[in-house]
Structure 1
């Protein structure tokens, strides 16, 4: 096997790196990147939606550069690193002859191309997936303490990148159950668990809020074949563009001749089958299946070297993919070239429009973890997303950013305000309205704790609710209103009905700081159809009701 990197490969990867850095510098942030930049302002071992790796890499980028590269530079390094690791994983005596074909294959895969300069949780996931396969390949060839430790550390890095990484580890394990009898494999698992312990502790301290959200709190909708299952099948094509017939041809032709190839096949088919089954329950986003690109680069490149038809057509269609992708990437910077509106367009403009209106006044956005960090990033000013019962929890529900706007004059922005002035229009022309609040005050961290996971819809029965005040100050009960939100079977909000709660101690007039107070309440009669779930909610100073209680099943 060739031990040195061919010059052609180095030149092409160098060109890709320069292209990605240039693209990263000139392209405005997309909303998710701004959100993860918000993560990185407070480095910790976990965040509401994802493990912390994406925030760590943004923080590292910010130590090297400012501006867009301060968010994306490490991603540019990782994208080239992913291709280098994949190249090292492929054992073939003739591979140096086909270095150009290798680069065309990988660079023509749509999301592998896009994540070459965007900073999203999948960016480190792809890199560590490639590294995991390389280390695993060497481990099964010659297990030892050193490789076991390395394998464990890479597994932990995978899990620190995205929770979906568990699928990678599980399907590779299922491909080789003999590992269950391998002492070194168990050492790798022990190392991984030890390295991941800080995140486990973070989850425990946060009452597993992230896991609960992903597994049970997310809204859904009734099954829609076109949106769910057909959408999943379309994503299988979108991942590879015009090369997709030959990509899947190569996959279907591959047989597991050795342990490592079997792992690649189990990983690919396993992820695809898992999300195909998931598509009968919810919409599968394209990036959820991006990880199959990593084993497929290896499998398909092997087939290209062995089969002239695959080599010829994947190369031709790959070039076509790349031309289209480069045009679209140019359109990310120059909006008129892009066929439709994209979220990298016009953010600086609306941020400046709003900043010119409010100056240095903090801005509170109603229900938008997307707009709040984007405004903070481009304006340099304070912002906050106030999440209510019509929306969902996010990092702003968890961190201390609420404190930055407490008791201050703020400009409150919402697309739903009535009798308010126009605050700004986004790049799509959607209007947002706003008004000033002279002394803003919210208590979105108040928790309504109701024992039990299921209740009967008995509107006469008196029930107990414990309200925990995590703030460092007492809260006057006169500032608060209470309600029950009724939800349907898909956890979509149906209605919000105000209720009266009664303190079990009649002398209580405040919620004591860092203490729990007991109240009783009754479920109000629903006004619409019979609900399937309910949750308790609190409003402060006539703001919309918040997300203060968990979703509870109604029998």
Structure 2
């Protein structure tokens, strides 16, 4: 037990140090901007990710430590699973599970990046703990806690709704209905609605924009492309790791742990089904991964295979971390290089005003790195949070725009007869423009 505490603590410290050193990605900067304009919810996602950034606002002078509340919450997921598994597996097996999580590209290193995935995995795991407690002890308090966790999970990411069908199918298939206390179920529903009220109220006030956007985002295409399904399946096998995926697939769990099958494979199969309708992003089934890794513990060779898993993902993480100190390595991947590009570009936000950007990623990054409010120019790209802000439309007779040279302009620029002049090329990719009328 002492070894587990040391492993948990040291890995948390390691995460906090790295989180403070690595510049915020463009999407993280976007969520950080939300924390500068706190709302009940947002067009793109529920509000939890903005709330976490807001909690860390006092840490901003410490490099990028504004991430720390999210990193700590993500690391607490391990603690939740300790309470789920402590009476069901040996400490040695749980130690293997911790290593599987710490070296997982999304649950481990990926949990340093502040996205809606971090809190939804935590609240999904917490919901699982309370659901099992409710079935085993039949305590009303467990049902109330389950509703609270589900509600907060809905404030994190809408994918938490998959918890309900996974649980219902488990209860039906395993004939567990007699263990359900129906008064408790009513309290779960009421508590859940209370805790997800911010999202419900915001959507009621905004014509259900967020719900409709996410539904269309996940089921948007009418013509099937086989590449969606193939890329989804290959992506899941790679992220989970082929040997671990095989171990989870072949694992035989005790009767009292058959719920793992439903919470591990349920979300993965759901998104497999949706891959016949639209492209599925690789991280969407992340809620299933803790249970998938728990399934793998019951395959005899998992301890032997662990070294290959750690070696492969450990090498990838080492290369990514090395980009902090070896700038040349950043060219290996555009997503790794992007935060550094935007950080260098942010100097322009202090040179001209009012400054606009051509994408939410660029606008948010310039705002975060310069601490000068920078907005995306209205309608220059797909609708997002910036388009809801009055500042997205210039009100004076002059404004500046930084954009990639290949990006176009919104129709209203020519309709309102703005005159454009190129001020300078900032790099081979970016150009600064001045508009007057």
User: Could you say which structure has the larger radius of gyration?
Assistant: 1
**How do 1:461-472 residues align onto structure 2 when only pairs under 5 Å count?**
none
Question: 411, 426, 432: which is aligned to 1:424?
Answer: 426
1:200 maps to: 200
2:383 maps to: 393
Distance 1:344 1:66, change over 3 A: farther
Distance 1:212 1:79, change over 3 A: closer
Q: Which runs of 5+ in 2 are unaligned?
A: 409-419
Distance 1:220 1:28, change over 3 A: farther
1:291 maps to: 287
Is the 1:354–1:423 Cα contact (8 Å) retained in structure 2?
no
Rounded to whole Å, the distance in 2 between the matches of 1:263 and 1:370 is 40
Is the 2:130–2:142 Cα contact (8 Å) retained in structure 1?
yes
Structure 1 residue 321 corresponds to structure 2 residue 312: yes
Residue by residue over 1:451-474, the C-alpha shift from the partner in whole angstroms, topping out at 9 and shown as x without a partner, is xxxxxxxxxxxxxxxxxxxxxxxx
Q: Quote how far apart the aligned CAs of 1:343 are.
A: 2.8
**If the length of structure 2 is used for normalisation, what is the TM-score?**
0.87
Question: 316, 332, 336: which is aligned to 2:328?
Answer: 336
Is the 1:365–1:383 Cα contact (8 Å) retained in structure 2?
yes
Is the 1:352–1:379 Cα contact (8 Å) retained in structure 2?
no
Distance 1:33 1:93, change over 3 A: closer
Rounded to whole Å, the distance in 1 between the matches of 2:253 and 2:93 is 22
1:174 maps to: 169
2:395 maps to: 406
Q: Which runs of 5+ in 1 are unaligned?
A: 1-5, 440-555
Q: Quote how far apart the aligned CAs of 1:273 are.
A: 1.5
Rounded to whole Å, the distance in 2 between the matches of 1:133 and 1:359 is 51
Q: Quote how far apart the aligned CAs of 1:88 are.
A: 1.5
Root-mean-square deviation (CA, aligned residues, Å) is 2.6
Counterpart secondary structure, 2:71: helix
Is the 2:134–2:140 Cα contact (8 Å) retained in structure 1?
no
1:537 maps to: none
Distance 1:223 1:323, change over 3 A: same
Rounded to whole Å, the distance in 1 between the matches of 2:354 and 2:343 is 13
Residue by residue over 1:329-366, the C-alpha shift from the partner in whole angstroms, topping out at 9 and shown as x without a partner, is 31342443357224343545555446348614121123
Distance 1:37 1:56, change over 3 A: same
Aligned residue pair count: 417
* Higher mean displacement: 103-112 or 333-342: 333-342
2:147 maps to: 152
Q: Quote how far apart the aligned CAs of 1:78 are.
A: 1.8
Rounded to whole Å, the distance in 1 between the matches of 2:187 and 2:349 is 59
1:225 maps to: 226
Residue by residue over 1:393-449, the C-alpha shift from the partner in whole angstroms, topping out at 9 and shown as x without a partner, is 10012234437x532632123334687344433xxx5x233322246xxxxxxxxxx
1:186 maps to: 186
1:477 maps to: none
Is the 1:160–1:196 Cα contact (8 Å) retained in structure 2?
yes
1:265 maps to: 261
Counterpart secondary structure, 2:272: helix
Residue by residue over 1:118-146, the C-alpha shift from the partner in whole angstroms, topping out at 9 and shown as x without a partner, is 10000101111111111111111012221
Rounded to whole Å, the distance in 2 between the matches of 1:285 and 1:93 is 33
Give the structure, 1 or 2, with the largest relative contact order (CA under 8 Å, sep 6 or more).
2
**If the length of structure 1 is used for normalisation, what is the TM-score?**
0.69
Distance 1:93 1:286, change over 3 A: closer
Q: Quote how far apart the aligned CAs of 1:14 are.
A: 1.6
Rounded to whole Å, the distance in 1 between the matches of 2:389 and 2:87 is 50
Distance 1:87 1:434, change over 3 A: same
Is the 2:102–2:109 Cα contact (8 Å) retained in structure 1?
no
Structure 1 residue 433 corresponds to structure 2 residue 431: yes
Question: 292, 296, 300: which is aligned to 1:300?
Answer: 296
Rounded to whole Å, the distance in 2 between the matches of 1:393 and 1:145 is 44
Is the 1:172–1:264 Cα contact (8 Å) retained in structure 2?
no
* Higher mean displacement: 175-184 or 105-114: 175-184
**How do 1:502-517 residues align onto structure 2 when only pairs under 5 Å count?**
none
Q: Quote how far apart the aligned CAs of 1:46 are.
A: 0.4
Q: Quote how far apart the aligned CAs of 1:231 are.
A: 0.7
Distance 1:165 1:99, change over 3 A: closer
Rounded to whole Å, the distance in 1 between the matches of 2:349 and 2:39 is 34
Q: Quote how far apart the aligned CAs of 1:183 are.
A: 1.7
Counterpart secondary structure, 1:50: coil
1:278 maps to: 274
Counterpart secondary structure, 2:61: coil
Rounded to whole Å, the distance in 2 between the matches of 1:402 and 1:255 is 55
Q: Quote how far apart the aligned CAs of 1:325 are.
A: 3.4
* Higher mean displacement: 194-203 or 120-129: 194-203
Structure 1 residue 53 corresponds to structure 2 residue 68: no
Q: Quote how far apart the aligned CAs of 1:50 are.
A: 0.4
More helix by share: 2
2:413 maps to: none
Structure 1 segments of 4 or more deviating over 6 A?
A: none
1:510 maps to: none
1:369 maps to: 360
Residue by residue over 1:21-75, the C-alpha shift from the partner in whole angstroms, topping out at 9 and shown as x without a partner, is 1111111111110110011111121011100000001101113443554431012
